[in-house]
Amino acid sequence: MNRLSSIVEQIPKSGIRDFFEIVQSMENVISLGIGEPDFVTPWHIREAAIYALERGKTAYTSNLGLPRLRKAIAHYVSEKLGVSYDPRNEILVTVGVSEGIDLALRAVLNPGDEVLYHEPCYVSYAPTILLAGGLPKPIPTRLEDDFILFSSAIEKAITPRTRVLLLNFPTNPTGAILPRSELLKIAELCIAHDLLVITDEIYSELTYDQVEHHSIAALEGMKQRVILLHGVSKAFAMTGWRLGFACGPDDLIGGMMKIHQYAILCAPNMLQEAAIEALESGAPSLLKMRNQYAQRRDFVAKRCQELGLPFSFPRGAFYIFPSIAHLGFSSKEFAMQLLHKKKVALIPGTAFGESGEGFVRCSYATSMEKLHDAFSRIEEFLHERKS
């Protein structure tokens, strides 16, 4: 007898997982396959968690999260994204954005409802939609369009069963952002077709070249139909803390809260205290890290250009997503051969959906020294292949 549910059986293992096992078994690998900052959490934030422990902050908090943290989130979101939420009933503190996505989907989907999202995309979207009983409907985005999601493409994909549009800009793995003009058209479309929007804006603090991040939640008429997901992981180098938040109209947050209170109860108390410190006083640390990412991005973009790898200049997050299709490899073959011959780990684009075929994801959240070294090795690899 099959002991697993049919949905779980149906979900493939993450492509990243297999690759991880191989990289793990090798020595002296330079990994550009890591989707998290290479900075340890700034000390003042860590110290805030230690202080919270010293004061005995070890009990449950309110299901929604500490009132002070919710206030800090309301203030932060209003400053950064230009939309105000009531900390009493429109903000929920979650265990990372990953929990937020799961809650949001489970709260709004009925079996068979379709969810539109752009691809290549973060690895969890399709499986999380399936687990929530929905049907994943990816919309491919293309290098030629700088991986922008066009409202026209969404419109074509809409069916009577479409309930939700899931957005992630800046995008992991492409580093794409969405121009405000396109965002406005998408908002109109969502209103016309009565779609809910779940927007994962975890990389919103990491945009470069003075490009401002715009949230769809801040556009006119959208707050009522948007669940905005964000957290401290990427901006403040706090990935392992697992602390995120969801903002939205009170009925949707209320629905998510029902699941959260039974499944999770609350995010860890002392970590919520540290998140207050991050949101209220983390700006200078963030700025320093962002400046470093920007320098590294310029470097990796220059190197990709020198090596003749077509790419879209990344405007956000900390990834570049060059094409390797012209070399006659599949993404996986390229990543495997590069790993075995030159000990550089990149993630095959197919880990981020079928439309990632022909690409590799290269994270530049790594020291300049390692980036230099890694790209020299990639250059050697390409050179040896030619001769």
Q: CA Rg, the chain, in Å?
A: 21
Distance (Å) of CA 378 to CA 20, 206, 331, 339: 19, 26, 14, 10
- Between 19 and 85, CB nearer to other proteins: 19
The reply to whether 34 sits near other proteins by the rule CB under 8 A is: yes
CB of 200 to other proteins, least distance (A): 13
- Buried-state track 335-344, b at ≥16 Cβ within 10 A, e below 16: beebbeebbb
Of 286-305, binders to other proteins (CB under 8 A) are 295, 298-299
The reply to whether 129 sits near other proteins by the rule CB under 8 A is: no
CB of 189 to other proteins, least distance (A): 29
Q: Per CB under 8 A, which region of 119-127, 144-152, 248-256, 325-333 contacts other proteins?
A: 119-127
Q: Which of 55, 180, 340, 372 binds other proteins (CB under 8 A)?
A: 372
Q: Measured between alpha carbons, how far is 345 from 357 in angstroms, rounded to an integer?
A: 17
Q: Per CB under 8 A, which region of 56-64, 116-124, 224-232, 276-284 contacts other proteins?
A: 116-124
Token pair for 255: 């629905």
- Between 266 and 339, CB nearer to other proteins: 339
Q: Measured between alpha carbons, how far is 113 from 282 in angstroms, rounded to an integer?
A: 40
The reply to whether 33 sits near other proteins by the rule CB under 8 A is: yes
Distance (Å) of CA 18 to CA 4, 268, 306: 21, 31, 31
CB of 358 to other proteins, least distance (A): 20
- Report whether 201 contacts 81 (CB < 8 A): yes
162 forms beta bridges with 114
- Between 65 and 348, CB nearer to other proteins: 348
Of 306-345, binders to other proteins (CB under 8 A) are 345
Ordered strands of the 347-348 beta sheet: 319-320, 360-363, 347-348
CB of 32 to other proteins, least distance (A): 10
CB of 301 to other proteins, least distance (A): 12
Token pair for 270: 């002392």
The reply to whether 19 sits near other proteins by the rule CB under 8 A is: yes
Total Cβ atoms within 10 A of residue 86: 13
Question: Which residues contact other proteins (rule: CB under 8 A)?
Answer: 14, 16, 19-20, 23-24, 29, 31, 33-36, 38, 40, 122-124, 172, 239, 295, 298-299, 345, 347, 351, 368, 372
